[in-house]
Copies of this chain bind each other. A is one copy, B any other.
Amino acid sequence: MTTVKHVLDKKGRDVHSIHPDASVFDALKRMAESNIGSLIVLEGDKLVGIITERHYSREIALKGRTSPATLVRDIMSTRVMFARPEQSVEECMAVMTARAVRHLPVLEN
């Protein structure tokens, strides 16, 4: 059984985050720099949300907003689905399919 921990051992444990009061433009810049499609949103140490390319593609141009003038907190998801290191990849895929999410931050403790 492949677990989340096995995946992280290969993939690395870098976590990319942004503050909720940053602009969506800055979030895009950070995603591009790291070649990723989502950022967790941290206020101090507290996980307050997640922002993904999906939010950008649905919530900016189509809603008449612009990325420099919109805050991360205005379009992020605040109900963050997450995984535990000991979970299997199959369980994670089931959660992602059921909840229609593509990104599962991994939390320990």
Contacts and interface: CB of A to CB of B under 8 A. Distances in A.
Interface of A: 25, 28-29, 31-32, 37, 53-54, 56-58, 60-62, 66-68
A38 to B, nearest CB: 10
A62 B26 CA distance: 9
A61 to B, nearest CB: 4
A103 to B, nearest CB: 12
6 shortest A-B CB distances, which residue pairs?
A: A53-B57, A61-B67, A53-B53, A56-B57, A32-B58, A28-B62
A25 B61 CA distance: 7
Main SS at interface, chain A = helix
A68 B62 CA distance: 10
Nearest to A60: B61
11 contacts: A25-B61, A28-B57, A31-B57, A37-B54, A37-B57, A53-B53, A53-B56, A53-B57, A56-B56, A61-B67, A61-B68
